Amino acid sequence: MDIVRAPQPQYRQARFADIEDIAAIEAEVFAEPYLYLMLRQLYDLHGSDWLVAELDGTVIGYALTLRKASRALLFTFAVAEQHSGKGYGRALLSHMLQHCRKDGAEVVYLTVRPDNEPAANLFKRAGFEFVEHDDEYFGPGEPRGVFEYRLRSRHLDS
Give the CB-side neighbour count of residue 64, counting CA atoms within 13 A: 21
Whether the Cβ atoms of residue 143 and residue 133 lie closer than 8 Å to each other: yes
- CA-only gyration radius of the chain, Å: 15
- Position 16 scores a pLDDT of 97
Q: What is the pLDDT of residues 53-100, one digit of tens each?
A: 999 999 999 999 999 999 999 999 999 999 998 999 999 999 999 999
Q: What is the pLDDT of residues 17-55, one digit of tens each?
A: 999 999 999 999 998 999 999 999 999 999 999 999 999
Rounded to two decimals, what is the model's pTM? 0.88
Cα gap 34→31, rounded to integer Å = 10
- Position 12 scores a pLDDT of 96
